[in-house]
């Protein structure tokens, strides 16, 4: 495709994708199926890779994140971001309305809006293009979180009009995303978020923008700074204009002209609260005309023309009858309170996660305790407190278990984790997941051994741990569904080939907590074989550059496990290599090449050598290979279809070579 054709096509695709995205994320009214959107997105992505100079910061493809931030700079708010005063009863709200009438000597309309439980943000646009986003901070000074806000699909990167404007709103995490995030964190043994607001705040302060992009944040915009500049006379007009510009505006906002209508609004959304896809903790009442807002003004902290009415908490009392412990797929052992059923936010609830032993101890929850139960984020049952005056006189502190409820192996509680963990490689709860990881490409690389095959092997009782893979026979494999002679032969060949891998693959494949592919390589280089590593102390491991105490403690705890010792013995008996076959760190340091001491980035498609092989060769010849381009990068090796990394390297003046030049320099280094 010619450049001019590509330019036109890219413009068409961006406009179409922006429209579809706006319909989906802003209007909640998708007009096309997901596959149509995905096809157009992939087409745009391919064209931008082919013509990287046509990539625009306002392109929808730039929302995925990828920038690693070093911190957040401060932003001075030109006009302070005030908080709202609170009232907790309808009587107090009626008093506020009465006082407003008395102060203005007139009856005015009100804007009734839902109080979204999130994080206040400010967005600044110049000529319609998003240029800066900030947190509220202390009201006067916030933090610049522009790059993280770019990943939120409900925030337009370009407005429908080329206006220069600052708007404010609320960033939040939807209930479904909150539940999913906490589930993932619990499986990893990480502390869970107490509510969606905390989750949103934590997500916006991630230094890795890719991590923010994964969190599925959204936002509602509700305020235009200096609205008179745009001919706006009321909050109702401002909300309509915000929607017209392309912002996501909460469609539940209503105008009210009497106290009776305000109360009806409160009752309606107090009832609907649990069915909304986002959490609210009340309603916000604002004088609708901007003239009234200006007349009433602000105190040092809050506006006099607006108030927040907070909903009373929806809590029920119940009794804890039992505490169950379950093992997740990553080995995290989680306690769950089993209680007398109660009706809470429209559903019957009888179970609530207690997350981890530390949480259970902090709450001091015991059997037969009367507890107060609510729903965090209106979705996740949570015990807020124990009613101590109702605790039985003979109550005893709950004892945390020391053995796995599935396999009875001793549980470990690593220093930096809040979770108890089972690390028995033969635990039934862990086995299927660990076997699939063991066979994966970056681990033992057993081609053809995917999740479905692993499940069949396990369900047919052909394997109980990874060592059993090396005992499988041709006849065993023919018992699997849809397995014929060729499939069985190919899998046996792949399993046999994996016996000869260097031990860094084995160490990564074993799934040792915190030990990724890079750490496994460093451990293998330093200790040389599994036996030496298994006998190493925490201090010896922690001294290895780039590892540290967390990894050291995890490795020592792993190899101290009796079941692990038995597994290593079984692997040895199955003739699986337990030694490092590459160059040691000392040998690598003695290797001299054109790449020694360089920080190198690989990008694009390589035809003559696999990316993994190129990385391995570079590291063995003294280079440090990283995944992103920065000022510290010395060299970029670019295959064809190189994209944004090539553009960035060019902008930074970094040396760039193609694959042919790289291959030639490899050959020259080997002949020296």
Angstrom CA distances, 48 to 39, 63, 602, 628, 647, stand at: 14, 14, 18, 18, 11
Indicate whether 565 and 604 sit together in one domain: no
Question: In the chain, pLDDT over 70 holds for what percent of residues?
Answer: 95
Q: What's the distance, Cα to Cα, between the start and end of the chain in Å? A: 43
Structural domain ending residue among the three candidates 521, 543, 573: 573
Indicate whether 527 and 601 sit together in one domain: no
Indicate whether 350 and 438 sit together in one domain: no
Indicate whether 550 and 598 sit together in one domain: no
Angle at CA of residue 334, ends 330 and 340, nearest 5°: 145
Q: List the catalytic residue out of 49, 115, 153, 375.
A: 115
Indicate whether 214 and 118 sit together in one domain: yes
pLDDT at 415: 62
Indicate whether 469 and 610 sit together in one domain: no
Asked whether residue 70 is domain-assigned, the answer is no
Asked whether residue 396 is domain-assigned, the answer is no
Query: What is the pLDDT of the chain when averaged over all its residues?
Result: 87
Asked whether residue 73 is domain-assigned, the answer is no
* DSSP one-letter code for 257: S
Asked whether residue 657 is domain-assigned, the answer is yes
Indicate whether 115 and 248 sit together in one domain: yes
Strand-pair partners of 418: none
Identify the three-state secondary structure at position 196. helix
pTM of the model: 0.61
pLDDT at 369 over 80: yes
CATH number at residue 36: 1.10.287.610
CATH number at residue 359: 2.40.50.140
What pLDDT, in 10s, does the model give residues 594-652? 787 788 999 888 888 888 788 878 877 778 888 778 888 889 998 877 777 888 888 88
Rg of the chain, C-alpha, whole Å: 30
CATH number at residue 609: 3.40.50.10190
Asked whether residue 412 is domain-assigned, the answer is no
What pLDDT, in 10s, does the model give residues 31-48? 777 667 777 888 888 888
Indicate whether 324 and 285 sit together in one domain: no
Asked whether residue 410 is domain-assigned, the answer is no
| Segment 270-277 mean pLDDT | 89
Indicate whether 365 and 492 sit together in one domain: no
Helices within 379-516 (DSSP H only): 428-439, 451-459, 474-477, 485-498, 503-509
What are the strands, taking DSSP E only, across 294-366? 306-310, 316-327, 332-344, 347-353
Structure-token pair, residue 61:
């493809």
Chain centroid offset of residue 611 CA: 27
Domain that includes residue 21, residue range: 3-63
Number of independent structural domains in the chain: 5
Asked whether residue 71 is domain-assigned, the answer is no
What is the distance between the alpha carbons of residues 481 and 75, in angstroms, rounded to a whole number?
Answer: 62
Indicate whether 627 and 647 sit together in one domain: yes
Residues with Cβ within 8 Å of residue 394, at least 6 apart in sequence: none
Indicate whether 20 and 104 sit together in one domain: no
Indicate whether 372 and 478 sit together in one domain: no
Backbone dihedral region of 563: left (phi > 0), alpha (psi from -120 to 50 degrees) or beta? alpha
Which range among 37-46, 265-274, 511-520, 576-585 has the greatest average pLDDT? 265-274
Half-sphere exposure of 116 (CA within 13 A, CB side): 25
Annotation says 115 is catalytic: yes
pLDDT at 330 over 60: yes
Find the range with the poorest average confidence among 70-74, 377-381, 594-598: 377-381
* DSSP one-letter code for 161: S
pLDDT at 585 over 60: no
| Element housing 243 (H / E) | helix 235-245
Q: Look up tokens 């991630």; give the residue.
A: 206
CATH number at residue 296: 3.30.470.30
Asked whether residue 404 is domain-assigned, the answer is no
Give the residue from 90, 99, 87, 116 showing the smallest Cα distance to 264.
90
């Amino acid at each position: 495709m010619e450049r001019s054709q590509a330019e036109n096509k890219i413009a068409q695709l961006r406009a179409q994708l922006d429209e579809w995205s706006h319909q989906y994320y802003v209007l909640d009214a998708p007009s096309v199926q997901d596959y149509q959107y995905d096809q157009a997105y992939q087409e745009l992505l391919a064209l931008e890779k082919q013509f990287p100079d046509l990539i625009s910061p306002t392109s929808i493809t730039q929302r995925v994140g990828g920038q690693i931030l070093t911190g957040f700079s401060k932003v001075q708010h030109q006009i302070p971001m005030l908080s709202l005063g609170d009232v907790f009863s309808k009587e107090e709200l009626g008093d506020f309305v009465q006082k407003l009438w008395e102060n203005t000597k007139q009856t005015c309309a009100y804007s009734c809006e839902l109080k979204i439980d999130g994080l206040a943000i400010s967005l600044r646009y110049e000529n319609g293009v998003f240029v800066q986003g900030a947190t509220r901070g202390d009201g006067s000074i916030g933090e610049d979180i522009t790059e993280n806000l770019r990943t939120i699909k409900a925030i337009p990167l370009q407005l429908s009009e080329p206006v220069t404007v600052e708007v404010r709103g609320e960033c939040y995490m939807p209930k479904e995303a909150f539940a999913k995030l906490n589930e993932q964190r619990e499986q990893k043994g990480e502390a869970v978020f107490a509510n969606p607001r905390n989750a949103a705040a934590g997500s916006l302060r991630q230094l890795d923008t890719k991590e923010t992009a994964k969190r599925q944040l959204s936002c509602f915009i509700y305020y235009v700074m200096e609205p008179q500049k745009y001919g706006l006379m009321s909050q109702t007009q401002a909300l309509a204009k915000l929607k017209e510009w392309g912002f996501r505006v909460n469609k539940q906002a209503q105008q009210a002209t009497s106290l009776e209508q305000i109360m009806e609004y409160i009752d309606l959304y107090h009832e609907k609260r649990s069915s909304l896809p986002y959490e609210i903790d009340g309603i916000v009442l604002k004088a609708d005309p901007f003239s009234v807002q200006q007349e009433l003004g602000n105190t040092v902290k809050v506006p006099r023309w607006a108030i927040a009415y907070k909903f009373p908490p929806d809590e029920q009392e119940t009794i804890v009858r039992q505490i169950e412990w379950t093992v997740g797929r990553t080995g995290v052992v989680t306690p769950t309170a089993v209680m007398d059923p109660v009706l809470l936010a429209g559903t019957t609830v009888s179970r609530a996660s207690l997350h981890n032993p530390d949480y259970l101890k902090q709450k001091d929850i015991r059997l037969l305790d009367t507890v107060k139960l609510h729903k965090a984020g209106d979705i996740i049952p949570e015990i807020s407190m124990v009613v101590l005056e109702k605790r039985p006189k003979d109550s005893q502190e709950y004892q945390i278990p020391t053995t796995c409820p599935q396999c009875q192996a001793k549980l470990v509680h690593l220093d930096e984790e809040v979770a108890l963990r089972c690390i028995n490689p033969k635990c039934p709860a862990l086995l299927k997941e660990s076997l699939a990881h063991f066979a994966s490409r970056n681990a033992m690389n057993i081609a053809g051994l995917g999740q479905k095959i692993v499940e069949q092997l396990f369900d047919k009782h052909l394997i109980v741990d990874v060592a059993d893979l090396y005992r499988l026979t041709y006849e065993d494999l023919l018992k699997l569904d849809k397995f014929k002679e060729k499939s069985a032969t190919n899998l046996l060949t792949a399993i046999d080939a994996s016996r000869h891998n260097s031990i860094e693959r084995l160490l990564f494949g074993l799934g040792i907590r915190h030990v990724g592919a890079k750490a496994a390589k460093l451990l293998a280089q330093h200790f040389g074989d599994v036996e030496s590593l298994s006998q190493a102390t925490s201090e010896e491991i922690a001294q290895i550059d780039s590892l540290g105490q967390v990894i050291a403690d995890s490795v020592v705890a792993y190899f101290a496990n009796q079941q692990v010792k038995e597994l290593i013995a079984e692997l040895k008996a199955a003739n699986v290599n337990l030694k490092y076959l590459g160059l040691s760190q000392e040998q690598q340091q003695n290797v001299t090449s054109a790449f020694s001491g360089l920080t190198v980035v690989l990008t694009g498609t390589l035809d003559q050598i696999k990316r993994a092989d190129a990385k391995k060769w570079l590291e063995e010849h003294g280079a440090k290979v990283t995944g992103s381009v920065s000022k510290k990068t010395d060299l970029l090796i670019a295959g064809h279809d190189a994209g944004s990394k090539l553009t960035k390297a060019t902008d930074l003046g970094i040396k760039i070579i193609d694959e042919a030049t790289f291959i030639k320099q490899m050959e020259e280094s080997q002949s020296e």
